[in-house]
Amino acid sequence: MLTHGREISIAATIALVLMLLAIFAPGFFALGNLGDLLLANMPVFIVALGMTLVILTGNIDISVGSVFAICSVASGGFAKLGLPMPLAVGAACAAGAAMGALNGTLVAYVRIPSIVVTLAAMVAFRDALRWATEGAWVQDLPRSFQWFGMSQTASNSATFAAAIALFAVLAWFLRGMAAGRTVYATGSNPEAARLAGIATSRVILAVFMTLGALTGAAAVMNSVRFNQIPSNAGLGLELKVIAAVVVGGTSIRGGKGSLAGTLLGVVLLGIIGPALTFLGFSAYWERAIQGGIILAAVAAEAIGGRRVEHAGLQRSAA
C-alpha cells in the first residue's frame, strides 16, 4: 500500500537540490522567496491531494484545470453578487463537487474510461466558461473578497493552515479510516473489492467529488490573491498536478501511493524551476528537467511493477 522507498528517494533528491542551493545560491532561502513559492504552489498541492485519491482508485481526472477556471470565476461572481465570503467559498466548492459528480457518475455508473470522460469535460467546461464570460475577466472584486477581507499576511497564514489541515485530514482518512481502505482496494483490485462487499462505484464517485470540491477550494485560495480573475485560469494545471502525484510515487494504475509522497512530489516539482534560475541555468531547462523527473518516476514504477509481477508469477507457478 505504501511505497516508502519512493518517498525516501524523492526526499533525498529534494535534499540534494536544497544543498546545492545552500552552497551556490543562499539567496533562495530568503523568506520572501520561500513565501512566494509556497503560495504559488498551494493550488497545485490542494488539487494534487484530491488527484491522489482519484489516481489511487485507478482513474484520472484531466479536467481539473477547467474546473479550476470555472470555480475561480464563479467564486468572484458570487462575491460580486454580495454573497458573504464563507458562502462564496462553499459555493465554489459545491460547484467543483458538482462537476466532479458529473465526471464520477460517467466513470463509475456509465463505465466510460476516466481519461475519455475527463478529456471531454476538460474541453466542454473550458468552452462553456469561454461562452459564458466571452473571455472577459472578473474585475472590480469587493474588498471582502481580496485576501478574504483580511490583511495579506493573515490571509496567507489562513490559506497555509487550511492546506495543512486538509492534508492532515485526508492523510488520516486514507491511512486510518475503513473508508480509506476501500479507496486502495478499489484501485488495486476492483473485482476483489466488489466481492468483498465494497460499493466500488460509490467510492469512485466520492473521490471525483472530493477532487472537485478541493479544486474549488484551491481556486478560491488562488483567486483572492489577485485583483482580477482571468477566465483562462488553471490552464495546464492538470499536468502539474498529475506530474506531482506520479512523481510522489502514486501508481498510475491505482492501489499504491500516499499523500506524503504527493506532498514531496509537489515540493520537488515546485522548487526545481526556481532552483535552476537561482543556480544560473537558463529557465528554458525547467520544463525539460521536470519532464525528465516525471519520466524517471514512471520508469521506476514500471520497472518495479514488473519485478513484483514476475515474482508473483514464479511463486504461483511453483
Partner 1 sequence: MIRMMVGRELAATYPSRNVRAGAVALELRDVSSEAAGVRNVSLSVRRGEIVGLAGLVGSGRTELACTVFGLTPADSGEILVGGTPSRIDSPADAIRLGVGYVPEDRRRHGVVLEMPIAANTSLANLAAVSRGGLVDEAKERELAERYARQLRVKAPSVEIEAGALSGGNQQKVALARWLATNPSVLILDEPTQGVDIGSKAEIHAQMAELAAQGLAILMISSELPELLGMSDCIAVMNAGAVSGVLTREEVTPQRIMDLALVPAARGAC
Chain residues that interact with partner 1, rule: CB under 8 A: 1, 176-179, 181-182, 184-185, 188-189, 191-199, 255-256, 308, 311-312, 315-316, 318
Task: Tell me the three cell numbers of residue 94.
Answer: 459545491
Pick between residue 50 and residue 257 the one whose CB is nearest to partner 1. Answer: 257
Cα separation values, 312 from 57, 188, 255, Å? 22, 15, 17
C-alpha–C-alpha distance, residues 255 and 86, integer Å: 35
Cα separation values, 246 from 51, 164, 269, Å? 10, 20, 11
Pick between residue 287 and residue 310 the one whose CB is nearest to partner 1. Answer: 310
Pick between residue 100 and residue 254 the one whose CB is nearest to partner 1. Answer: 254
CB of 114 to partner 1, least distance (A): 20
Indicate the DSSP class of residue 255: S
Pick between residue 126 and residue 256 the one whose CB is nearest to partner 1. Answer: 256
Q: 3-class DSSP state for residue 135? A: coil
Rg of the chain in Å (alpha carbons): 20
CB of 164 to partner 1, least distance (A): 21
Q: Give the relative orientation of helices 152-176 and 31-56 as an angle to the nearest 10 degrees.
A: 30
Q: For residue 227, which phi and psi values (nearest 5 degrees)?
A: -95, 5
Residue 41 is which amino acid? N
Q: Give the Cβ contact number of residue 186 at 10 Å.
A: 28
Pick between residue 1 and residue 18 the one whose CB is nearest to partner 1. Answer: 1
CB of 105 to partner 1, least distance (A): 18
CB of 218 to partner 1, least distance (A): 26
C-alpha–C-alpha distance, residues 276 and 281, integer Å: 5
Pick between residue 12 and residue 179 the one whose CB is nearest to partner 1. Answer: 179
CB of 192 to partner 1, least distance (A): 5
CB of 294 to partner 1, least distance (A): 22
